[in-house]
């Protein structure tokens, strides 16, 4: 089985050609950096210009190679496996574009060790996930005058809460206590629409990414109006985010790893997050 897995992997690599080397990237004058589309504060377009935390990090990566960044904005697919396959190691099935590096990838040991049921190969066998640069969180935000605190999810048997469709908070809250809360869980295809309804007072609370809620609500300047929890009770609420390259782009992944380490050590990451009014959290994989 191991021999078969190796053969399959080699065939896939040969069919998908090779990753661009650092020399190839420098010769072309640009590095293709994949970012999630319409995902503030990490990556979004404003007045025709790419903006966001990941955009700033991408600029530093490009500068370290003395090339320009070429942004490859992509929508999220059904799962992370599909995103990595279609963006990093195989390429888009329609326009064939393939990124040299993709940002905002879960740096999660359990995910990186998951194996394919049919082949036994690692699900991330064709990519390298490295360079954690931030610890992300699921949290809940409420209107203080309606819910000054949240000690139990049971409060949402009586109060409404907005979530993004098919996220972990959506599934958790919808199934909690045998579905008792489901009637008050308002599901949105676009989380920014949930934020708009929350601001307008149409829903009592939101469950989402801490970074998004801080940015979209300007939370640090509105703590008199809003209450934020430290977690979403009952689920894994904190994890690192990092970057992904193809497995055969090891030299590039090591180079980027050094860039991210320097950005952390000289407090540039802190400054980038501060500029978007988002609290920077040291990756948990860095240790205490």
pLDDT tens, N- to C-terminus, the chain (288 residues): 444 444 444 444 444 467 899 999 999 999 999 999 999 999 999 999 999 999 999 999 999 999 999 999 998 877 787 788 888 887 666 666 889 999 999 998 777 777 776 666 666 778 899 999 999 999 999 999 999 999 999 999 999 999 999 999 999 999 887 888 999 999 999 999 999 999 999 999 999 999 999 999 999 999 999 999 999 999 988 999 999 999 999 999 999 999 999 999 999 999 999 999 999 999 999 987
| 213 assigned to some structural domain | yes
Helix (H, G, I), strand (E, B) or coil at 236: coil
Please identify, among 228, 248, 272, the residue that sits at the C-terminal boundary of a domain: 228
Owning domain of residue 191:
137-228
Do 30 and 99 lie in one domain? The reply is: yes
pLDDT of residue 93: 66
Helix (H, G, I), strand (E, B) or coil at 266: coil
HSE of 11, CA atoms in CB hemisphere, 13 A: 6
Do 19 and 159 lie in one domain? The reply is: no
Whole-model pTM over 0.75: yes
Do 279 and 155 lie in one domain? The reply is: no
How far apart CA 232 and CA 235 sit, in angstroms, is 6
Do 48 and 11 lie in one domain? The reply is: yes
Please identify, among 194, 228, 262, the residue that sits at the C-terminal boundary of a domain: 228
Are 227 and 148 spatial neighbours (Cβ–Cβ below 8 Å)? yes
How far apart CA 60 and CA 268 sit, in angstroms, is 10
Tell the burial category of 169 from Cβ atoms under 10 Å away from its Cβ (0-12, 13-18, 19+). Answer: buried
Do 96 and 128 lie in one domain? The reply is: yes
Count Cβ neighbours within 10 Å for each residue of 2-31 and write b for 16 or more, e otherwise. eeebeeebeebbeebeebbebeebeeeeeb
| 235 assigned to some structural domain | no
How far apart CA 150 and CA 285 sit, in angstroms, is 28
| 147 assigned to some structural domain | yes
Do 58 and 174 lie in one domain? The reply is: no
* Whole-Å CA distances, 94 to 14, 15, 73, 98, 202: 20, 16, 14, 11, 40
Q: What is the DSSP letter of 95?
A: T
Do 11 and 110 lie in one domain? The reply is: yes
Number of domains into which the chain is organized: 2
Do 128 and 246 lie in one domain? The reply is: yes
Are 266 and 122 spatial neighbours (Cβ–Cβ below 8 Å)? no
Do 128 and 115 lie in one domain? The reply is: yes
| 233 assigned to some structural domain | no
pLDDT of residue 7: 44
Do 146 and 123 lie in one domain? The reply is: no
Residues 6+ apart with CB under 8 A from 181: 153, 154, 156, 157, 161, 173, 174
Do 282 and 179 lie in one domain? The reply is: no
pLDDT of residue 1: 46
Q: What is the DSSP letter of 238?
A: E
In the block, tokens 């809940």 appear at: 140
Could you tell me the CATH number of the domain that includes residue 16?
3.40.190.10
């Amino acid at each position: 089985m191991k021999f078969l897995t190796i053969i399959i992997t080699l065939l896939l690599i040969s069919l998908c050609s090779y990753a661009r080397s650092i020399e190839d990237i420098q010769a072309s004058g640009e590095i293709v950096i994949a970012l999630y589309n319409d995902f503030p504060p990490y990556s979004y377009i404003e007045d025709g210009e790419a903006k966001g935390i990941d955009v700033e990090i991408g600029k530093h990566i490009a500068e370290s190679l003395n090339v320009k960044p070429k942004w490859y904005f992509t929508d999220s697919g059904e799962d992370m496996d599909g995103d990595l396959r279609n963006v990093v190691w195989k390429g888009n099935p329609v326009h064939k574009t393939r990124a040299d590096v993709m940002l905002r990838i879960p740096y999660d040991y359990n995910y990186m060790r998951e194996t394919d049921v049919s082949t036994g190969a690692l699900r991330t066998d064709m990519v390298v996930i490295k360079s954690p640069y931030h610890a992300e969180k699921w949290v809940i935000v409420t209107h203080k005058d309606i819910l000054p605190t949240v000690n139990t999810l049971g409060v949402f048997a009586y109060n409404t809460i907005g979530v993004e469709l098919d996220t972990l908070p959506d599934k958790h809250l919808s199934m909690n206590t045998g579905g008792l809360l489901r009637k008050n869980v308002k599901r949105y295809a676009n989380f920014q629409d949930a934020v708009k309804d929350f601001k307008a007072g149409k829903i009592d609370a939101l469950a989402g990414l801490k970074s998004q809620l801080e940015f979209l609500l300007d939370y640090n300047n509105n703590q008199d109006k809003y209450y934020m929890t430290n977690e979403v009770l009952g689920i894994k609420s904190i994890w690192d985010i990092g970057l992904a390259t193809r497995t055969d782009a090891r030299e590039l992944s090591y180079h980027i790893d050094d860039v991210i380490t320097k950005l952390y050590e000289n407090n540039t990451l802190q400054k980038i997050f501060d500029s978007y009014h988002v609290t920077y959290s040291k990756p948990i994989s860095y240790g205490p």
